[in-house]
Chains A and B, each alone.
Chain A
Amino acid sequence: MLSKIKAFWRGVRHLSGDDAYERYLRHHAAHHQADIALSKAAFFKQWQDDKWDGIKRCC
């Protein structure tokens, strides 16, 4: 039961983008170790601006 609640909470965080920076850090560690990772604030700016480039909402 507890693990299900935890999984649900992880889903909520993922869906909302609450954990986007953690996911970025993981991706960064796996693929781009040579570069310096962005700070949380800088990453969030970039992530938010990317997200709103294009059609995202419908009727």
Chain B
Amino acid sequence: MNNLLKNAVWILIAALGAAAVGGIALHRGESINALWFVTAALCVYAIAYRFYAAWIAATVLAVDETRATPAERLDNGRDFVPTNKWIVFGHHFAAIAGPGPLVGPTLAAQFGYLPGTLWILFGAVLGGCVQDMVTLFLSTRRDAKSLGQMARDELGVLGGTAALIGTFAIMIILIAVLGLVVVNAMKHSPWATATVTATIPIAMIVGLYMRSFRPGQVLEASALGVILLLLSVAGGGWIDDNETMRVWFDQEGLTLAWWVMAYGFAAAIMPVWLLLAPRDYLSTYIKLGTISLLAVAIILLQPTVKMPALTQFIDGTGPIFGGKLFPFMFITIACGAISGFHALIASGTTPKLLSNERDIPMIGYGSMMLESFVAMMAMIAATVLDPGVFFAINSPAGVVGKEAVDAVAMISAWGFPVTVEQMQLLANQMGEATLFARTGGAPSLAVGMASIFGSAFGESMLALWYHFAIMFEAIFILTTLDAGTRVGRFMLQDMLGNIWPKMGETSWTPSVVLTSALVVAAWGYFLYIGVIDPNGGVNILWPLFGIANQMLAAIALSVATGILVKSGKLKYAWVTALPLAWLVTITSAAAWEKITSDNVRIGFFAAANDLAAKLAAGVLPPEKAAIAPHLIFNLHLDGWLTLFFVALLWLIVLDMLRVCSRYLTGKPVLALSESPHSPSRLVEDWARD
């Protein structure tokens, strides 16, 4: 009877989920309620977790709860510590959830709400969650080794080196694009700039508090920091009203880009406890708090999605970034559906805390479902805006024109009516001078969040909500920026240490300064070009980031597929091989178009040639002619980088296929590097502390 009831409940969930997904997909009216999106997401996650994740864990991976995990076997009370599963879940989710799932869906909303929503849902449950869970499992079985180490041990030197280069490259491009998002959010916005700047001394106060004033009192210090951050949002408004002070923070994009670079360098050489660690605490609390608040607001308010299911821009003419739905939507939404970067957290870091293998589905698969849900909320926040407003905020001046009148005329002509007065009123409500051409995704997400929060919790504070949302995005973008620069520095020190051992000493000051400067210069270059690019820069950098991130995911899935085949599980290898094949398809297709397309809005080389021809013919206005050589050089560089990424991707996939075919034809391959079984001694219901 009990069983019958359970089955009935699952059938009900399946029916509800199918109805919600079908409703979203087939709806062609004026508007649709956002609650349908939430329902569809929750049902799809529930079904996928209960059946697919459980089946993979039990049958494909054969998780063994009697087997001691590295955390138990190597427990040293420091990094290897068996930990309660909810705590591990919290750490893992906090580590994987960054700004990616917020920015990607916002940009991809130019295709309409439907493609992005389906990719976020199904890409996650069939691809991203599987990747995270399988990588977590494989690393747990290998003494918590990193992805690069596993690639080297299981596939060979090529895979390992590719993982290292891929990680470094993705870090550089990721930081540049995130830096650009922050710069675009602060450009000529004294309020946003002042608030974001204030987060730096606030983090330092918190750092000093928990290091020297009250050592180890993490929660006390964090509470103080969160209060100061909220005050800084209000304080930014006060500075904005103050005639003398507002000019200090009213800056050009380029100036802000230099500030961000100086900040990144300072953060990379400063001791972690002063800036990086406290900032990370604050960003984690603000992130979790804001995301929960957004979920509550969406459920309470049930806002209406005004964006059509599909827009005409699926043909590749979209203003935010050029390129057709396939493959560019799949490159644009990386982190919310599948993100290679997660494999770096799922290997190496999280397995050191895992107390029992049976928690792998919950932590690996579950965290990614939650991340996908965050992406879903970003999609809702972008699509509840009037489409005209959405396009006015996100379309670069290079596409719709510098003058507000031209921009609204063009956007209205696309069938998304919007007026200058409407945009001005909205800007006034949000406490900004203008909202036209505020590319990068952060301002439009902030407007979306502010309208949701405003309607749910009080209209009168729209400007506060808007700048709170900007602060929320900026604080964890800057956390990724400092943490990424630092990791990049360590990787570079490690690489240079192979040539000159002294450079490998992570605390030798000349090495620290030199490698930090090199890493900052690398992402600073892309940031600089992005800022001077009249088309907004995000349209170039984001696809490059997406390609790099998906390439890293392909490395992780190749390692996983190779290991499954080598473990004699060929018949189950499709679990990772299918998402891998899809990733290889979209990454290669996107790279192909980026390299060979004649369309100047898509092809890097086409754009470079077009600009060079215009420069030679002397038809460019002087201010554009001055920067044209930089842009041409950068377009070539981006083209070659794309080619490099896709070549690396194919090398790894072919290497994995080589290993698999050798195994299947009985030739010798590298032995499985799984650690031997040792029984767990932790009792069944181990400390729920």
Contact = CB atoms under 8 A, between A and B. Distances in A.
A57 B484 contact: yes
Interface in B648-689: 688-689
Nearest to A49: B272
Contacts of A20: 216, 218
Interface string A40-59: 11011101111111111111
A8 B237 CA distance: 36
Nearest to A51: B277
B79 to A, nearest CB: 6
Contact of B280 (A44, A57, A58): A57
B588 interface: no
A23 B100 CA distance: 34
B232 interface: no
Contacts of B216: 18, 20-21, 40-41, 43-44
Contact of A15 (B90, B210, B345): B90
A17 B98 contact: no
Nearest to B348: A54
B211 to A, nearest CB: 7
Given A18-B219, A59-B174, A48 B273 contact: yes
B344 interface: yes
Contacts of A51: 277
Interface residues of A, number: 35
A59 B487 contact: no
B230 interface: no
A26 B517 CA distance: 42
Given A7-B688, A40-B216, A41-B215, A54 B487 contact: yes
Interface string A1-26: 00000010011111111101101100
A33 B263 CA distance: 44
Interface residues of B, number: 53
B87 interface: yes
B349 A18 contact: no
B218 A50 contact: no
B349 A55 contact: yes
Contacts of A57: 95, 98, 280, 479-480, 483-484
Interface in B243-291: 272-273, 276-277, 280-281
Interface in B324-370: 334-335, 339, 341-342, 344-345, 348-349
Interface in B421-445: none
A31 to B, nearest CB: 7
Contact of A48 (B277, B342, B484, B688): B277
A58 B339 contact: yes
A51 B278 CA distance: 12
Contacts of A31: 77
A34 to B, nearest CB: 15
Given A24-B77, A49-B272, A55-B344, 10 more contacts: A13-B219, A45-B211, A45-B273, A48-B277, A54-B348, A57-B280, A58-B97, A58-B98, A58-B335, A59-B339
24 contacts: A11-B87, A15-B91, A18-B217, A18-B219, A27-B81, A28-B77, A41-B215, A44-B216, A52-B277, A55-B344, A55-B348, A55-B487, A56-B280, A56-B345, A56-B349, A57-B280, A58-B95, A58-B98, A58-B341, A58-B342, A58-B344, A58-B345, A59-B335, A59-B341
